Each structure stands twice: as C-alpha cells, then as structure tokens.
Amino acid sequence: MQTRRNYLLALVLGVSIGFICIVILYLINLNIVIETLDTVEGASIVLLAYIIRISILAGMAIYLFKRWFMQEKMYTSDLPFLFGMFFILLVFGKLLEMLSNFMYPVVAHDMFLLYLKIRQFVVIATLAPMVFLSIMMIIIFLQANGKIKKYNDPRERNAFSLKILTIIAVVEAILIIVTPNTTIAGINIAIFVVLSLLVTTWMFYFSYRNKRLSQIHPLIIAIGFTGYLISNILRVLFQNIIGENALFIVITEVIDIIIGMVIFFGYIKKANY
C-alpha cells in the first residue's frame, strides 16, 4: 500500500511540475500566441486540432495509469506504466509543439531554436519508455539465440536496460545542446525518432512472432508504430515541399490521432495465442 501511495505521489508531482512549467512558458509567450491567433490564417483551426489530440492522449494516459494502479503488484517495467508514460509525455510534447508552431511566424531565430530544443528533450523522454521496452526485448532475443547468458533475472535485465537507455539519452541530449541551428536540429531529432520507431516496431513484431506480451496485441501495436514512423517521414518531406501551414498541421494531427488510437487499441486487445 505504501509503495502504491509513493508511486501515485511521484506521478502526480511529476505531472504537476511538468504542467506548471508548460503554463509558465505559455504565460511568458502569451502575447505572441495571441498575435499569431489574430494574424495567421487558420491558426484557430490548428488550435482546435491540437486541443482534440491532447485531450485524446490525456484520456489514454489516465486509462493506462488507472490499469496500472489496479494491479496487485506494481513495477515501473509494467506495460501499463510504460504506455501511460508514453502517452502522457506525448501530451507535453504536443503542448510544446503547439507553442513552437505559434511562435514560429513572429519570433527571432535564436528564441525559436531554444524552444525547439526544449521540445526535442521532451521527444526523447516520450520515446524513452518504448526504447526501454525494446532494449529488454533485444536482450531476451539474444538470450533465446544463445548470444548472451546473463540478465536472466528480470531486475538485472531492467537495470541493464536502464543503463543503455541512459547512455542513449545522454548522447542525444548532448547533440541537442550543441546544435547550432534549426536545420541541424531537425535532422538530428528526425534521425533519433526514425531509429527509435524502427526498433520499437521491430520489438512488437518480434514479440508477436514469438508469442510474447500476450496481455496486449503486439501486431496491432507494431502496425500503429509503423504508421507513426511513416507519418514522421512524410511529415518532414511534405514540410519541406509545401511548408508547415495550417492545413498541413491539421492533416498531420488527424492522421496521428488515428495512429494513436490504433496503438491504444492494440494495448487493450489481447493477442490470440
């Protein structure tokens, strides 16, 4: 019971601090946001699209955390917790993305780059739960093929996976900090996102082929993350061709809503094996 309270306190405290930081950033840039809404055509429609997307993501996160707290035993490596963290961090990412998109037309390059870097740190955090799970499944895959004989204890495997994840996060964080302009920043985070999604997609497909993670449907989730991967690649391509206008943002948000619901459906539906 005490552990459950500690987890709840840590989760509520972390989410609250995150939202307070987001609110402060919006208050600092409130005049810029209002100016964009007043002067940029389609900005209000973009705002509505973001609100719908964020509301759906928050609902999914709440459902998953509720499932986690209903478990008799709770571990931070549990699927409800990892998926809940993925969706709640995606909420923070979308809030920062919305802010940066509203700032882009009117702020100086250096200021926009700063907020872009903050947003990219959140992107790393968002993908971290799925990368962590992928590292664990890679270890299991190597153990099944006799490549490694260590980390049979789940606690040892979790600890080693966390070390690898920390190294990846630190390297990517350093790259973000030293990025000199928005072009390189975009390329840097695109490479990280694509590689992370490729590994995550493989992990869920591997789980399906080897009849693992039976409490969810790994194939549906793999399809969802494949769609997310394709969406991110096409977003970069079309952004360079037609620019990031209001119609482009709304279309990409609608597509990502559908993809997010596919991933969520894969979580709540059990595999048939």
Residue 38 lies in a domain: yes
Structural domain contains residue 28? yes
According to DSSP, residue 62 is labeled H
Contact 232, 32 (CB under 8 A): no
Task: Collapse the DSSP code of 116 into the 3-class scheme (helix H, G, I; strand E, B; otherwise coil) and give the result.
Answer: helix
Confidence at residue 83, expressed as pLDDT on a 0 to 100 scale: 92
- Cβ atoms of 102 and 33 within 8 Å: the answer is yes
Average pLDDT of the chain is 87
Handedness of CA 252, 253, 254, 257 (dihedral sign): positive
> Rounded to whole angstroms, how far apart are CA atoms 71 and 51?
31
**Highest-confidence segment of 5-19, 171-185, 187-201, 238-252:** 5-19
Query: From the CB of residue 197, how many other CB atoms can be counted at a distance below 10 Å?
Result: 23
Backbone torsion region of residue 125, taken as left when φ is above 0, otherwise alpha when ψ lies between -120 and 50, otherwise beta: alpha
pLDDT band at residue 242 under the 50/70/90 scheme: low
Q: Is residue 165 part of a domain?
A: yes
pTM above 0.75, yes or no: yes
User: Is 80 exceeded by the pLDDT of residue 105?
Assistant: no
Residue 273 lies in a domain: no
Question: Could you tell me the CATH number of the domain that includes residue 83?
Answer: 1.20.1070
Total structural domains within the chain: 1
Report the C-alpha gap between 95 and 93 in whole angstroms. Answer: 5
Tens-place pLDDT, residues 114-161:
888 888 899 899 989 989 988 888 888 787 777 777 777 777 888 888
CA gap 90, 80 in Å, rounded: 15
Range of the domain at 28: 2-268
